[in-house]
Chain A
Amino acid sequence: MSTTAWMITLQFAGVNALFALAIYASLWTGVLSLAPVFFGAVSAFTFGYVAGTLGLSPFLGLLLGAALGAGLGALTAGLLIRLDSHYLAMATIAMVLIGRVLILNLPEYTGGATGTLVPGDLGTWAWLIGTLVVAAYVMARLAGSRFGLAADAVREDPAVAETLAISPRRIQFIGMIISGALGGVAGILQSSFLQYIGPDTFYTHLGFVTLAAVVLGGAFHWLGPIVGAIVFTILPELLREPMGEYDRVVTGVLLVLIIIYMPRGLVDVRRLRMVRSRWWRPKGGGAEPDGPDPRDPQPTVRAEVAS
């Protein structure tokens, strides 16, 4: 690939990293949601419409994206957070699919099937890196915070978290708001880099790539989604030469392989700590050191709650 092509690829890796962080933010609280792709679409099309008709400074554009995304995140959470996790996941996938229907059917605002043009002021390295650094900083700060530990607890075992006076719904609500804000910002940046957005810009493919990025990188540390996004954006580009149109197949196959063989992803803090524990205590602990967790909370929780 040429240098220019590489630069463009890396820029999209950066935007995908933002989307991946958005998905990570809700997954952190135990909610699997592809909704950030939808939030990104709404922000991007709103940005395109507002910037096209009224004009909008880049910074205000980003703020608009964050606010719009956060608002939509809150709304989505308010309506859907009660659902069983299967249904919640599917409902957010449905949001992405419905987003396309809306875009196609609101041509006055979105340009319909032909799409719309978006100013490219924000499509620079400075804005991208700046936004990513801020997003990563926020996630890193939250990691050890009151919210962060509560989110860890809710993801790992919501029933136990509740007996620590943590309200899982509240934590998940906050997670969805953060997820929404990040998704909104990512959508604005994506549209600025492309300068043209259509019904397929924010569709399943974007959702798949970013989810795959989170799963590969690891959904248990903020660095995971960023690493995963870079790998999953560059990999198809490298594969495009030998594989042609089949490059996405690799994304799918990798997703299946990772979830089976490396469920905690590349950035696996637990494994690091495990190694360190062993170093601390050469005899090793009492519990099983690796692999599937036999005390998987899910079945017990379900059994206790359902019966």
Chain B
Amino acid sequence: MTGLAVDIVGLTKAFGGLTAVDDVTIQVPPRRIHGILGPNGAGKTTVLNMVSGFIQADSGRIDVFGQDVTRMQPFQIARRGVARTYQNIRLFPGLTVLETVVAGAYMQRSSTIAGAILMSPTERRERREMRERAAELLEKVGCRAPHSALAETLSYGDQRRVEIARALATNPKVLLLDEPTAGMNDVESEEVGRLLVELRELGLTLILIEHNMRLVEEFCETVSVMNSGALLAEGAPTWCLEQDEVKEAYFGKRSDAARIATLRRARRGPGGS
């Protein structure tokens, strides 16, 4: 037992000839807000995809709370307390806000097919509890949209909040967030930042990919910076962003002023990372 929440060691993944993730080690203790930074195409999302089991690693190992999840199916990993959100929001078309969050509570429910058909008292109570819990979660993430609205019709920010609420409904121990503030204004981003802290106080471990440097500096305790699949630096965010290699990876060799300006404004760019 290492005592780490997420222990990624020597993770490598190649697509054809391109090594998307190259010998990456990221170790995150429990109750930590950890950022993964890097320019687009650095392999950040690929790392998250491997942690949540979408992609099988070529080599390396991923442990979640001391349990090896490297070769597990995504739903098995989810059952061990890993939840996530997506860079390109992936809500279920046709479901309302409330239904979307209740769908996330699948493992929290014990109802059976027979119970549902007969509408047993247990089933009734569970449905009511699920609705209440979903409403609480939506409140917590700050989604003010009507619960009966179609989730996919909400504003960008609210869609991201619903996605976070859906992930939280699984009652996770580790939450992976892929650019949670993309498309949000500064006020909204700040709200997300405070939500992260609140979640950490509740005992969650958070790993997020983020381009908003202000948010990273303010809320992440540690960061890992990636470029071209490899780890460039890790440690406190302010320290990491001062490293010459990191600056160069992000901005090439441009003037400081331009760099700072971009740094502050950095937003999600097109394409994956």
| B86 and A160 contacting across the interface, CB-CB below 8 Å | yes
Task: Give bound CA distance, A173 to B91, whole Å.
Answer: 24
Task: Give bound CA distance, A166 to B152, whole Å.
Answer: 21
Task: Give bound CA distance, A55 to B139, whole Å.
Answer: 61
8 A Cβ contacts from A126-159 to B: 137-138, 141-142, 144-150, 152-153, 156-157, 159
| B92 and A156 contacting across the interface, CB-CB below 8 Å | yes
| A150 and B103 contacting across the interface, CB-CB below 8 Å | yes
| A286 and B159 contacting across the interface, CB-CB below 8 Å | yes
- Which range holds the interface residue count of chain A? 35 or more
| B152 and A287 contacting across the interface, CB-CB below 8 Å | yes
Task: Give bound CA distance, A166 to B127, whole Å.
Answer: 18
| A280 and B146 contacting across the interface, CB-CB below 8 Å | yes
Instruction: Provide the residues of chain B in CB contact with A161, threshold 8 Å.
Output: 75, 103
Task: Give bound CA distance, A147 to B1, whole Å.
Answer: 36
| A274 and B150 contacting across the interface, CB-CB below 8 Å | yes
Q: Mark A41-69, 1 if CB is under 8 A from B, else 0.
A: 00000000000000000000000000000
| A146 and B150 contacting across the interface, CB-CB below 8 Å | no
| A142 and B113 contacting across the interface, CB-CB below 8 Å | yes
Task: Give bound CA distance, A157 to B93, whole Å.
Answer: 9
Segment among B46-54, B225-233, B234-242 that sits at the interface with chain A = B46-54
| A138 and B106 contacting across the interface, CB-CB below 8 Å | no
Given contacts A146-B106, A174-B113, A304-B55, contact A285 B153 (CB under 8 A): yes
| B92 and A273 contacting across the interface, CB-CB below 8 Å | no
Task: Give bound CA distance, A270 to B91, whole Å.
Answer: 13
| B116 and A141 contacting across the interface, CB-CB below 8 Å | yes
Instruction: Provide the residues of chain A in CB contact with B113, threshold 8 Å.
Output: 142, 145, 147, 174
Task: Give bound CA distance, A160 to B149, whole Å.
Answer: 20
Counting chain A CB atoms within 10 Å of each CB, the highest count among B78, B111, B150, B155 belongs to B150
In the complex, what residue of chain B is closest to A137 when comparing beta carbons?
B117
| B78 and A295 contacting across the interface, CB-CB below 8 Å | no
| A295 and B153 contacting across the interface, CB-CB below 8 Å | no
**B99 located at the interface, meaning its Cβ lies under 8 Å from any Cβ of chain A in the complex:** yes
**B140 located at the interface, meaning its Cβ lies under 8 Å from any Cβ of chain A in the complex:** no
**A276 located at the interface, meaning its Cβ lies under 8 Å from any Cβ of chain B in the complex:** yes
Q: Mark B163-178, 1 if CB is under 8 A from A, else 0.
A: 0001101100000000
In the complex, what residue of chain B is closest to A220 when comparing beta carbons?
B94
Q: Looking at the assembled complex, report how far the CB atom of A162 sits from the nearest CB atom of chain B, in whole angstroms.
A: 4
**A300 located at the interface, meaning its Cβ lies under 8 Å from any Cβ of chain B in the complex:** yes
Task: Give bound CA distance, A300 to B86, whole Å.
Answer: 12
Instruction: Tell me what chain A mostly uses at the interface: helix, strand, loop, or mixed.
Output: helix
Instruction: Provide the residues of chain A in CB contact with B94, threshold 8 Å.
Output: 152, 156, 220, 269-270, 273
Q: Looking at the assembled complex, report how far the CB atom of A266 sits from the nearest CB atom of chain B, in whole angstroms.
A: 15
Contact pick for B79, options A150, A165, A284, CB 8 Å? A165
Contact pick for A149, options B74, B103, B117, CB 8 Å? B103
In the complex, what residue of chain B is closest to A145 when comparing beta carbons?
B116
8 A Cβ contacts from A208-224 to B: 220
| B95 and A152 contacting across the interface, CB-CB below 8 Å | yes
**A245 located at the interface, meaning its Cβ lies under 8 Å from any Cβ of chain B in the complex:** no
| B92 and A285 contacting across the interface, CB-CB below 8 Å | no
8 A Cβ contacts from A265-307 to B: 269-270, 273-274, 276-278, 280-281, 284-287, 289, 293, 295, 297, 300, 304-305, 307
In the complex, what residue of chain A is closest to B99 when comparing beta carbons?
A149
Counting chain A CB atoms within 10 Å of each CB, the highest count among B111, B119, B149, B159 belongs to B149
**B264 located at the interface, meaning its Cβ lies under 8 Å from any Cβ of chain A in the complex:** no
**A204 located at the interface, meaning its Cβ lies under 8 Å from any Cβ of chain B in the complex:** no
**A251 located at the interface, meaning its Cβ lies under 8 Å from any Cβ of chain B in the complex:** no
Counting chain B CB atoms within 10 Å of each CB, the highest count among A137, A153, A160, A280 belongs to A160
Contact pick for B150, options A159, A167, A270, A295, CB 8 Å? A270
| A160 and B152 contacting across the interface, CB-CB below 8 Å | no
Instruction: Provide the residues of chain B in CB contact with A167, threshold 8 Å.
Output: 73, 75
Task: Give bound CA distance, A249 to B114, whole Å.
Answer: 42
**A163 located at the interface, meaning its Cβ lies under 8 Å from any Cβ of chain B in the complex:** yes
| A287 and B88 contacting across the interface, CB-CB below 8 Å | no
Task: Give bound CA distance, A255 to B79, whole Å.
Answer: 41
Given contacts A153-B103, A165-B75, contact A145 B93 (CB under 8 A): no
Task: Give bound CA distance, A49 to B271, whole Å.
Answer: 62
Contact pick for B92, options A138, A153, A305, CB 8 Å? A153
Question: What are 28 A-B contacts defined by CB distance under 8 Å?
Answer: A141-B119, A144-B99, A149-B102, A150-B103, A152-B95, A157-B92, A160-B90, A161-B75, A163-B78, A163-B83, A163-B84, A163-B167, A164-B104, A164-B107, A165-B107, A270-B93, A270-B94, A273-B148, A274-B153, A277-B150, A277-B153, A280-B146, A285-B150, A285-B152, A286-B154, A287-B154, A304-B55, A305-B54
Which 4 pairs between the two chains have the least Cβ-Cβ distance?
A285-B153, A145-B116, A162-B74, A165-B78
